[in-house]
Amino acid sequence: MNASARLKELMNAHFAGVDRAARERTAPVAWCTSVGPVELLRALGYEVFFPENHGAMLGASRVANEVMGRAHALGYSPEICSYLTSDIGSYLLKKTPLQRHGLSGAPRADVLVYSTNQCREVRDWFEFYAREWNVPVVGVTSFRDIGEVETHHVDAIVRQLEALVPTLESVAGRRLDAARLEEAVGLSRTCSELWGSCLRAGASRPAPMTFFDGTIHMGPAVVLRGTREACDYYRLLDAELRERVRAGVGALPRERFRIYWDGMPVWGRLRDLAALFARLETSVVASTYCNSWIFDALDPADPLPSMARASLELFIARAEGPKERYLEARIEEFSVDGVIFHDSRTCPNNSNARFGMPQRLRKATGTPVLVIDGDLNDLRCYSDEQARTNIEGFVEQLEGAPPRATA
């Protein structure tokens, strides 16, 4: 993809920017969870670092398993988030793929800002660094297993967001400016719309981009949300994808089957899995994971309440019912032949195969489902051999299935 070159520049500039701010004290530095209240930080002039992005880099570079043991020895169990354990291990052993971007390590934060809308681990993770650096850690303790997002949910989160402001202002040494917040929310909203449009291109046959490409291209939607650069990037990518769709160019030379992926990527096996699916002429056309950075609710006219609503409407924060309805809609939208659930050992909140959902979904939609065991970063929980047999067997099953009546 042509946009890839720009993506590389953009990510490099992002890392360099945060790193410079941390070293030369040219701007305050905040760490933020990937679906946390980043717009507040942008409005206050922070350079923002996203440790989950670093976690994914540790996984993809397979440094994770070399370093996470150090965190286990410190009392962070191998059963908890392997982003957390690999990031803390990486910090302690001073070993990180960020070195390839010219950084010696993750940039030191002046303040750490979390939202537990995804999981409790992010708070414990940030508290480790707060103790380490003696800097404030603040955040939003959110609701989980939300059925319908109600006004009282939104109000409660708005109050918590407001309560963050004094600390964030004091660390930044400036007051929150309403116009700048509106601007950041507006840019986040635009970025979210454009990224959403890129992902919806996957509904075309053949799909112009796979989930595996998506996990790379989503970088700016995570780390540069609320900036103009991110919007520009997705305009570029979207145009390229639309052109591919128009020309009928697919991500794979041949697309026999279309798959939806639920759950985390197996970062250390991204390339192998992409190659396996390509060999099977099966395109993973959409995923819950990449869709997680689409925030329909964001509204510059109503910054904090819309941020609150966006953080609550997130798939990961929802109850089984809304999650199931969401997946049913995606099966329809992307006309997929099968759904693969990745049961990620150390990420229960992003694993939706643990309460019978695949079975219910199969029953409700008639769509074949497959569950594979693995983990986002801890490859000890993943068996190459088993995953391969599971996936090849699933594709064989699709080959033998009667033609599906899809739109």
CB of 78 to other proteins, least distance (A): 7
Looking at the Cβ atoms of 67 and 185, the one nearer to other proteins is 67
* Alpha carbon distance 397, 259 (integer Å): 13
CA nearest neighbour of 89 among 113, 55, 137: 55
Binders of other proteins among residues 360 to 389 (CB under 8 A) are 362, 368-371, 373, 379-386, 389
- Choose between 298 and 379: whose C-beta lies nearer to other proteins: 379
Please, which residue, 12 or 386, has the CB nearer to other proteins? 386
306-365 positions binding other proteins, by CB under 8 A: 362
Candidates 45, 69, 105, 305; binder of other proteins (CB under 8 A) is 69
Which of 13, 73, 249, 329 touches other proteins by CB under 8 A? 73
275 in contact with other proteins (CB under 8 A)? no
393 contributes a contact to other proteins by CB under 8 A: yes
Residue from 42, 70, 123, 269 binding other proteins (CB under 8 A): 70
241 vs 371, which CB is nearer to other proteins? 371
Q: Given the complex with other proteins, which of 158 and 370 has the nearer CB atom?
A: 370
- Report the residue number, 303 or 368, with the smaller CB distance to other proteins: 368
The piece of 29-37, 69-77, 244-252, 255-263 that touches other proteins (CB under 8 A) is: 69-77
The least CB distance from residue 71 to other proteins, in Å, is: 9
Give me 144's structure tokens: 């989980």
Q: How far is the CB of 334 from other proteins (least distance, A)?
A: 21
CB-wise, 302 or 392, nearer to other proteins?
A: 392
Q: Which stretch binds other proteins (CB under 8 A): 9-17, 101-109, 158-166, 395-403?
A: 395-403
| Binding of residue 392 to other proteins (CB under 8 A) | yes
- Shortest Å distance, C-beta 103 to other proteins: 23
Cβ 385 to other proteins shortest distance, Å? 6
37/20 Cα distance (integer angstroms): 23
Cα–Cα–Cα angle for 21, 232, 104, rounded to 5 degrees: 30
* 396 touches other proteins (CB under 8 A): yes
**Among the candidate windows 35-43, 68-76, 231-239, 319-327, which touches other proteins by CB under 8 A?**
68-76
Q: Which is nearer to other proteins, 24 or 385 (CB)?
A: 385
Instruction: Provide the binding-site residues for other proteins, judged by CB under 8 A.
Output: 65, 69-70, 72-74, 77-78, 362, 368-371, 373, 379-386, 389-390, 392-394, 396-397, 400-402
